[in-house]
Amino acid sequence: MSKSKFKNPVVKWIDHRLPVFSFMDHELNHYPTPKNLNYFWNFGSLAGFALVTMIVTGIVLSMNYTAHVDYAFDSVERIMRDVNHGWLIRYIHMNGASFFFIVVYIHIFRGLYYGSYKAPRELLWILGVLILLLMMATAFMGYVLPWGQMSFWGATVITNLFSAIPLVGESIVTWLWGGFSVDNSTLNRFFSLHFVLPFVIVGVVILHLIALHRFGSNNPIGIDVKGTQDTVPFSPYYTIKDLFGLSVFLSFFAAAVFFFPNFMGHPDNYIEANPMVTPAHIVPEWYFLPFYAILRAIPDKLGGVLFMFGAIAVLFVLPWLDRSSVRSSQFRPIYKIFFWILLFDCILLGYLGAMPAEGIYVILSRIATAYYFFHFLILFPLLPYIEKTKPLPISISEPILGGAATASAFATREKK
């Protein structure tokens, strides 16, 4: 047996029988990580932090929440008014959902820009898309729980989408509701699922991390790590960088929680759910707006539903849609431009999702939807045949070593 790397006798004893400490030492301490990662690589750990925050605050909230149509709204207000620091816990949870999506969307666009989904990281990417899908389901059901007007009408609109399925649609909706309208049984099952799905997300996140640690992180240049000269141990280099990133993230998060807690919410959700009064505009939470715009852009109900789910489905097969072997956009001059167009397209869709479905907004929604699918289904497979990529560096160390000339020049200038 090799000599244990741990000095503490208790740790040594346990590790010999149950090598959890060796595992953590290997995966969190020595884990070799490319040394050229930029700040966009902070968002993975931030997403993990957001998930834990949501679970912890959510468990505390559930201790004070009542999942019943007659009491849900008032029980949330009791948390806001009478539970000690209940307003803090609830505002963290409420804004935490938005910040979780902000972080995850940046994480996804990072992956798109630097080609992080390409071989051999296809499963890593697919697990990530699965996490996004689970997050969306969880967030949607969580928004129903306060039982405000938007909760109720959002739930009605979204569950009704399933009625578009031919033949069995209506039965499926009744089955989802547990009755003939969104009512107490719907609220109860949404609470139950909203509680359990985050733990399913944790499970998929663990798989996501196992897949990540198989080949390690991608990097801004997108070429494989050639040896130890290209990497640094995760700790202390990326633990401290993640801590810095976390501090910046928390500063934005805290600013929202303490000073603008309702900025990302809808005022109507402070009106108790009323099945007899329909709000003028039913809008989902901001993070669903691009998908909502796609749904409404298609004149056919079933078509709209299919395109909306299709917008996520194309992400699952993206590793095979993109035929280019070059990962990073830095070396793909044309794709780089289309990346920014896609980002703009998604923001435009989000804006259109918040607007009423009439006039120019419908036309723009259709153009933006068409572009979204054009980008994934036509551009990704065909672009590599047209695009001339730039030459790739030999290794990660090379551009850094290349930069050493300027670095030393800088050093000499400083000496003067």
Partner 1 sequence: MIKYSSQFFSNNILKLFLSSLIICISSICFGAGEKINYPQLNWSFSGILGTFDRASQQRGLQVYKEVCSGCHGMRLLAYRNLKAIGYNEDEIKAFASENSVNTINDDGEVVERPARPSDKFVSPYPNDKAARAANGGAYPPDLSLIVKARPDGANYLHALLTGYIDAPSDLKVPDGMYYNKYYSGNLIGMPQPLYDDGVEYADGTKATPDQMAKDVTAFLAWASEPEMEDRKSLGVSVMLFLLLLTALSYFAMKQIWAPIKKQ
Q: Which of 180, 199, 259, 263 binds partner 1 (CB under 8 A)?
A: 259
CB 152 within 8 A of CB 144: yes
Question: Nearer to partner 1 by C-beta: 5 or 81?
Answer: 81
Each residue 308-337 as x (binds partner 1 by CB under 8 A) or -, in order, gives -------------------------xx--x
Residue 174 CB, nearest distance to partner 1 (Å)?
28
Q: Which of 217, 328, 329, 365 is catalytic?
A: 217
The amino acid at 80: M
Q: Quickly list H helices, 166-262.
A: 169-177, 184-215, 234-259
**If DSSP codes are grouped into helix, strand and coil, which group holds residue 231?**
strand
Q: Which of 75, 93, 151, 242 is catalytic?
A: 242
Each residue 212-251 as x (binds partner 1 by CB under 8 A) or -, in order, gives --------------------x---xx--xx-xx-xxx-xx
Size of the site for partner 1 (CB under 8 A): 48
Residue 303 Ramachandran class (φ > 0 left, ψ -120 to 50 alpha, else beta)? alpha
Question: Nearer to partner 1 by C-beta: 79 or 176?
Answer: 79
32-41 in b/e burial notation, b at 16+ Cβ within 10 A? ebbbbbeebb
Q: Which of 6, 21, 40, 87 binds partner 1 (CB under 8 A)?
A: 87
Residue 235 CB, nearest distance to partner 1 (Å)?
10
The amino acid at 310: G
Please give the Cα distance from 292 to 152 (Å, whole number). 17
* Catalytic annotation present for 241: yes
Q: Is 261 in the site for partner 1 (CB under 8 A)?
A: yes
Instruction: Write the DSSP assignment of 113-128 as a string of letters.
Output: HHTTTSTT-HHHHHHH
- Token readout for 175 is 């089955």
Instruction: Write the DSSP assignment of 323-379 as a string of letters.
Output: ------GGG-HHHHHHHHHHHHHHHHHHHHHHS-SSTHHHHHHHHHHHHHHHIIIII
Q: Contact region for partner 1 (CB under 8 A) — 121-129, 177-185, 286-294, 347-355?
A: 347-355
Cα 326 from chain centroid?
Answer: 24
- Token readout for 298 is 């298609």
Query: Which are the catalytic amino acids?
Result: 213, 217, 241-242, 285
Provide the binding-site residues for partner 1, judged by CB under 8 A.
Answer: 35, 74, 77, 80-81, 87-88, 91, 232, 236-237, 240-241, 243-244, 246-248, 250-251, 254-255, 257-259, 261-262, 267-268, 270-271, 333-334, 337-338, 340-341, 344, 347-348, 351, 355, 387-388, 400-401, 404, 407
